[in-house]
Structure 1
Amino acid sequence: MTYTIPIILFLVFFLVTALKVLNEYERGVIFRLGRVINSKGPGLIILIPIVDKMVRVSLRIMTLDVPSQDVITRDNVSVKVNAVIYFRVTDPIKAILEIEDFMFATSQLAQTTLRSVCGGVELDDILSQREKVNNEIQEILDIHTDPWGIKVSTVELKYVDLPQEMQRAMAKQAEAERERRAKVINALGEFQAAEKLSQAAKIISAHPEALQLRYLQTLREMSAEGKASTIIPLPLDLMRMLAPGAGSGELIEKKIQESSEE
């Protein structure tokens, strides 16, 4: 009975210090007398008390929020850029031995890389080619963090904060662009209308009866408008006699066009 209590206490101490359980997403880097022997897990592992020491490392994808960085782009525009980085540990031993705090180191590296990349491109590229900027930042981070046993999978720019003066200038530019497009579309419509009128004039000159049909159609449209004035249709031959100087119905076409515009 004298040795029972110490033995029980020793067994309890051994179980507490020697038996460790690692989750599926965890790995344990084992140090034995200060030297790394291996990484173990997941599941139940046994350590030698006092001799072995274990450092847990998570293999899940981690999210790192990069604070807003003041950046001056290549075209001398001052902006604030924020980003988010997704990375994971691929080699637990390197993540513990090669870097003191891989989370802090990755954060600092991401900030400097974000400023460097965004400072080397123009503002339009940051706004319109964001995917290209994301890939460039991701490649740079992946190259520098690979010796640490870290894989950077995705980098996304969250937002680009522009000064108020730049926002107003961009709004004016967009408004001017919309006005330019409206004028181009209007001019194109006038050009197409002129082409159609030219084709119609050629058809009417080749078929005089088409002018008679157009004349009657115009009279019908004018009468359908419900105006109080009285419309007296006259034959085209009589109108040609009244206006002998008009050849090939030119005067009639002018009158019809004026009536249509009214």
Structure 2
Amino acid sequence: MKRPNILVIAGHDPSGGAGIQADIEAAAAHGVHAATVISLLTCQDTHNVYGVKPVASDFFAQCLDAVVADMHIDAVKLGVIASAEHVAIIARLMDRLGDTPLVIDPVLVAAGGGTLADDTVGQALQDTLFERACAITPNAREARALCAGEIDLDRCGEALSERTPNVLITGGDEGGVEVVNRRYARGRAMQRYQWPRIDGVFHGSGCTLASAVAARIALGHSPDEALQHAQQYTWETLERAFAAGGGQRIPARIVTGTP
């Protein structure tokens, strides 16, 4: 038997709430295999990030080469990337992978406020990888950071959609009784998705969403279908979220009956 493979490039979270473990669980919940290459190690818990240690660039590149030499990759998902040098390595990889779909979750800062990527990473992603992506999924804070601090999310979405065909700005970190996600696509009007807000703060929701998008695309779904389904799936994981530690709750990504 075979199943689709997604290549996930992201960081390791020792609490198991975000990063590589979240990606693996979200992919598995959709019947997709996640091959994983770690970009950085973090010292963190369910409260915050306390330290970051990037993987050496030569070893990082060696790991990517080994995976793609052995496996057919149906989609690539990027989470936190350690440096602009890592971004350049990934760009060369995508040249080799041709039309393989790419989903980017441009993780810059942890939910607790700790810094995950240096200031050059966001710009490097925009300069070299956004144009290759079929979708990017920043939260509101990340969208503003990518747009030099622009406050208006519509302006952010419009600016980012000039670089990549599908932008989903998630609104979980904004106020309001509902979570409003905004989808921007070239040549189309902005589309709003509204979800009932679930009380609490969650650890790994962005990883869950982006990996679900990549998994659905690997299964053959269009970006429209993948973005819609991934939001529904992520909302359900938050509704089932549990407390593994004393901080943010963790989405329950794998349960009996998950499609």
Structure number with bigger Rg: 1
Tell me if both proteins adopt one fold, taking TM over 0.5 as the criterion. Answer: no
TM-score, scaled to structure 1: 0.18
TM-score between the two structures when normalised by the length of structure 2: 0.18
Going by fraction, where is helix more abundant, 1 or 2?
A: 1
Higher relative contact order (CA 8 A, sep 6+): 2
